[in-house]
Copies of this chain bind each other. A is one copy, B any other.
């Protein structure tokens, strides 16, 4: 592999001149003829700049650390695509780490990324308890929170309005006449689920009829956990006519559990999910759910991270997108 010195020698110039000639930002400081010679030499030798060396010297690697909780959650890919798309436009690349939603792993992953000198971090994996850790990291490099945030606006964040989404879900169920409602929550130390719960609660409180409301809190927002929580509720003797699951995976698990208990959806029980993950429109039954612009969240988060590199002191702000409610066939009016 040819390095800069080889190019410089072949062109008969000093490495510093070669460096300038090949750097778009400085090539104007080089005589046209010299530049041409350098460029030609570089081409002949198939020169490509060593980004590790450059990163060491410049203190900038052009890499962004992306930390996600669980690759197995189908709502993530569109978000990651959004990030990858914007990063590519910026000439940057993603270093991806997965935490399995374990705070210990999160810390390890973040430190590893810092050691690798990523220019910024984007993460969709924070728990509320991670605030001190993130505060610490943010002293070193910019951190952008995506999807999940802390409940005040103390970090750069790109999210959507979870409370509104939760309210939409509960309001919908109430408007269909349901008054026995189960809520399957994700971990209650994650902003998304806290927001959805609050939204649901306020919608229920504002409902015309009195609503019996039972909340079960899970440790992971997965199908298995949805199944477990739903089963648990039924075994406790609470038979709801409507279920609000905090994400689509939990909704699917809940529908399974209902089926095993001899209850059909939406015949006996209406179920609302969350995220509008790919394929939820083709499930049996097609899932009523809450949608937000996930590609957009990823893309915005990446752009924000990029802009923080040039202007680290820009005012802290949260973008919060407005969700849509998507009514499908997993919810129905309460039969009398």
Binding site for B on A (CB under 8 A): 1, 48-53, 55-56, 61, 63, 71-72, 74, 76-78, 80-81, 84, 88, 93-98, 111-117, 140, 252, 278-279, 282-286
Contact = CB atoms under 8 A, between A and B. Distances in A.
16 contacts: A1-B140, A51-B116, A63-B116, A71-B84, A76-B77, A84-B97, A88-B97, A93-B95, A93-B113, A93-B116, A94-B95, A94-B96, A95-B96, A252-B282, A283-B283, A284-B285
A61 B71 contact: no
B72 A74 contact: no
Contacts of A96: 84, 93-96
Query: Which 3 pairs of residues, A with B, have the shortest CB-CB distance?
Result: A284-B284, A51-B115, A71-B81
A50 B117 contact: yes
Contact of A282 (B81, B115, B283): B283
A285 B286 CA distance: 11
B63 A95 contact: yes
A52 B117 contact: yes
Contacts of A284: 282-286
B84 A78 contact: no
B78 A77 contact: no
B97 A93 contact: yes
A115 B71 contact: no
A173 B68 CA distance: 41
B111 A48 contact: yes
A34 B76 CA distance: 48
Given A1-B140, A56-B56, A84-B98, 17 more contacts: A48-B114, A50-B117, A52-B61, A52-B117, A71-B77, A72-B78, A76-B77, A88-B97, A88-B98, A93-B96, A93-B97, A95-B96, A252-B282, A279-B279, A283-B284, A284-B284, A284-B285
B71 A80 contact: yes
Nearest to A277: B279
A231 B97 CA distance: 41
A61 to B, nearest CB: 6
